[in-house]
Amino acid sequence: EVVALASSRSVGTEVSYGDKTLRVTNLDTYDFSDTDICLMSAGGAVSQKYSPKIGREGCVVIDNSSAWRYDSEVPLIVPEVNADAISMFSKKNIIANPNCSTAQLVVALKPLHDRAKIKRVVVSTYQSVSGAGKDGMDELFNQTRAVFVADPIES
């Protein structure tokens, strides 16, 4: 069973999941004790607040934020690269994953590193403003409009 969870202000809204529609349930009151895996992608602050509680209830949290990436008791996993590091997840029942650019990059670099040790990589990424959410999209719209009407651009 897949359950959609969010804050209380989103309770009752619906989200698509494959060919199904799921009604959103309140994250604050959800009982994780009978849940195997929680895919957490709600931002660092939410993950910091809820992941430890969820993990203590026996559910494994796979976190997509930056909240746990530097925690020495939480494995940072890219399965194609370091699946064996998964064994240490049980300290907090949390697994971190790197950001989208890093995950793809290390999958490509791992076999190269295994053959000829890589000492340094310089990477530039260009990511979508939509990753900043509605505020970022609104800012981009206003800046784009300002360019076309010769108004000052505000950040």
Chain segment 105-117, per-residue pLDDT in tens: 999 999 999 999 9
Phi-psi region of 150 (alpha: psi -120 to 50; beta: other; left: phi over 0): left
**Is the pLDDT at 131 greater than 90, yes or no?**
no
- Per-residue tokens: 68: 């746990």
Higher pLDDT, 4 or 126: 4
Which pLDDT does position 96 carry in this prediction?
97
What is the topology classification, in CATH, of domain 5-98?
Rossmann fold (3.40.50)
Model confidence pLDDT, tens digit, residues 90-101: 889 999 999 888
With a cut of 90, say whether residue 14 has pLDDT above it.
Answer: yes
40 pLDDT band, cuts 50/70/90, is: very high
Calpha distance 148→138 (Å, rounded): 16
Binned at pLDDT 50, 70 and 90, residue 24 comes out as very high
pLDDT of residue 93: 96
Query: Where are the chain's structural domains?
Result: 5-98, 102-149
Mean pLDDT computed over every residue of the chain:
93
pLDDT at 126: 86
| pLDDT given for residue 127 in this prediction | 82
State the pLDDT at residue 45. 92
Distances (CA, A) of 21 to 16, 17, 92: 5, 6, 32
Burial readout 105-125 (b: 16 or more C-beta within 10 A, e: otherwise): bbeeeeeeeeeeeeeeeeeee
- E strand intervals along 69-142: 94-96
- Taking the model in full, what pTM does it have? 0.79
Q: What is the pLDDT of residue 52?
A: 97
